[in-house]
Amino acid sequence: MSKDGIAVHTEAADLPALHETIASLFAAQGNWERAYQHLRSALERDALTAGYNRRFLDQQLARLADGHLSLAMVDIDLFKHVNDTFGHLIGDRVLRSVAALLKQDLPRGAFCARYGGEEFVLVMPGLDAREALSAVERARLRVARYAWHRVRPGLTVTVSAGLTARPGPAEERLREADALLYAAKRAGRNVVAYPDSEIPGQIRHSG
């Protein structure tokens, strides 16, 4: 728990390995069902952040293919600069902290998964565009307002996001969210970009 009350687990990277160890112990005892549960947890978790990984994301998007959901692609702004200026150990701490902040206070049924590198995906089943925008904007603000100077003096971290709520195959939704993410970057970063519901082809920004 950080000093400002936000739960950020800096040792979360041990969780997948812990699940593997527990799985082997249950297997040795002949409890194959419990062993399978822990092994599955290890396979679904990102090794660095201990949040959900790309494998879990792909499985869930396939399962939710016919349902209504909103999806946001989130990227840490200027992350290369963080690594170059403060070092990769601090960069790893930033990744773990951002993962924890993004998944905090998500609506019921929603989840955060690490897409790769410094990119994350927020999946929000059952939320319309307005509800999803509110959830993503809250997540953006949690990151921007976090006391990063306590991690390292001079450190600031923000995220940009692209949000889509339109129906369609998972690959198309991810592609649109990614395009909107880069629109958010072009708009100056630390914003959420989303389609204008009234003017087709237009993009709006919050933040």
Active-site residue, 119 included: no
CATH architecture of 51-206: 2-Layer Sandwich (3.30)
- pLDDT for 1: 41
Q: What is the per-residue pLDDT across 176-189, written as a single tens digit (0 to 9) for each? A: 999 999 999 999 99
Position 125 pLDDT exceeds 70: yes
Q: In what order do the strands lie in the sheet with 119-125?
A: 111-116, 119-125, 69-76, 159-164, 192-195, 203-206
C-alpha separations of 107 from 5, 68, 189 in Å: 20, 15, 24
- 167 pLDDT tier (thresholds 50, 70, 90): confident
C-alpha separations of 189 from 38, 78, 118 in Å: 39, 9, 14
Place of tokens 């960069």: 91
Q: Mean of the pLDDT values across residues 63-77?
A: 92
Q: What is the mean pLDDT of the chain?
A: 85
3-state secondary structure of 114: strand
- pLDDT for 81: 98
C-alpha separations of 198 from 32, 66, 195 in Å: 54, 25, 9
Position 157 pLDDT exceeds 70: yes
The residues that bridge with 117 in the sheet, in sequence order, are: none
* More confident position, 198 or 114: 114
Residue 129 in tokens: 């565009």
Residue of 11, 20, 33, 118 marked catalytic = 118
130's enclosing H/E stretch is: helix 129-145
Where do the domains of the chain lie?
Answer: 51-206
Q: What is the per-residue pLDDT across 5-64, written as a single tens digit (0 to 9) for each? A: 444 443 444 555 554 554 454 445 554 455 445 456 667 889 899 899 999 999 999 988
Distance CA 66, CA 83 (A): 40
HEC states along 175-186? HHHHHHHHHHHH
Query: Is there a contact between 192 and 175 (Cβ–Cβ < 8 Å)?
Result: no
HEC states along 21-86? HHHHHHHHCCCHHHHHHHHHHHHHECCCCCCECHHHHHHHHHHCCCCCEEEEEEEECCHHHHHHHH
